Amino acid sequence: MLNALTVDVEDWYMTNGLDIDPSEWHKYEDRVVRNTTRLLGLFDSYSVKGTFFILGCVAEKHPELVRDIAERGHEIGSHGYWHRLVTSQTLEQFRQDVRSSKEILERLAGRRVELYRAPSWSISRARYDALKILAEEGFACDSSMQPFQTPLSGISGAPKTPFSPVLDGEPLGIREFPPTVAELAGISMPFSGGFYLRAVPYPMVKWALNRVNRTRPGMIYIHPWEIDPAQPRAKTSAFIRTIQYYGLNGTEGKLKRLFRDFSFRPLGEIINGESFPPHRLYSPGAG
């Protein structure tokens, strides 16, 4: 069973948990190039390819990084432009955000960009119309609907497996691939990326992905700053410190074990030719 390998290309100070305004970003140490390049070297050493969801602002500041990712044979996706939560934008602001990021990435990579992931999985019930905008802007697949709730985002009760969204009775012509969770005694267990991958012991990660692979491909997601234990520590709450910094020393080792134990490809290859079942979504207030 093949699994999708994905990377959200953003710098450590851009995370929504730290909530640092983009106007202040120039004050912080830029580490995204060195960390992403280190990830690329790790992927090369295990001969794995993945999908890199890149922020437009990172691409504009570091065009050589986008070209390097593309030249090494990885897939390019959009992570938006400013790493703003979709729920914090109007629909028109969202359209401009994804359009500008798509244009920059396609120019630098020299290929179409058809996959999108929202910052912090922030397409919510109140922003289902964002899926319609993504389809209109030329995206074929979205990976933004987290099927469990967190303080930042998520949709309780959303599908846990890939599907084709139908909004208010209208097929949108886009596919949705949510973050992978394992079912344990009727409870959804996140394990496949971010804080969850860092916090869950590797034997449990392996067990969970094997369990998912009985019926479908899974998806691993990481951020370049998660292999950087030496990154600066921002002043924030104890909760956010835990989410941001816990387990950084073990991320690279877990990736190496995953690469030895499982097979990975870019998300676009995983969904290519697959027919995902339709799932009806209803905007707030719809009948």
Residue 193 in tokens: 């990326």
CA dist list (Å): 229 to 41, 187, 225: 17, 31, 8
3-state secondary structure of 225: helix
Tens of pLDDT along the chain (287 residues) come to 999 999 999 999 999 999 999 999 999 999 999 999 999 999 999 999 999 999 999 999 999 999 999 999 999 999 999 999 999 999 999 999 999 999 999 999 999 999 999 999 999 999 999 999 999 999 999 999 999 988 888 888 899 999 999 998 999 999 999 999 998 888 889 999 999 999 999 999 999 999 999 999 999 999 999 999 999 999 999 999 999 999 999 999 999 999 999 999 999 999 997 889 999 998 765 44
pTM, entire model: 0.96
Looking at residue 120, what DSSP letter applies? Answer: G
CA distance 239 to 229: 18
Residue whose structure tokens are 């910052």: 119
- The type of residue at 186 is G
Q: Where are the alpha helices (DSSP H) in 174-233?
A: 194-199, 202-212
Looking at residue 126, its amino acid is A
Q: Which amino acid is at 25?
A: W
CA distance linking residue 93 with residue 20, whole number of Å:
19
The dotted CATH code for 2-281 is: 3.20.20.370
In the chain, the DSSP E strands lie at: 2-9, 51-54, 75-78, 115-116, 141-142, 164-167, 170-171, 175-176, 181-184, 187-190, 219-222, 263-265, 278-281
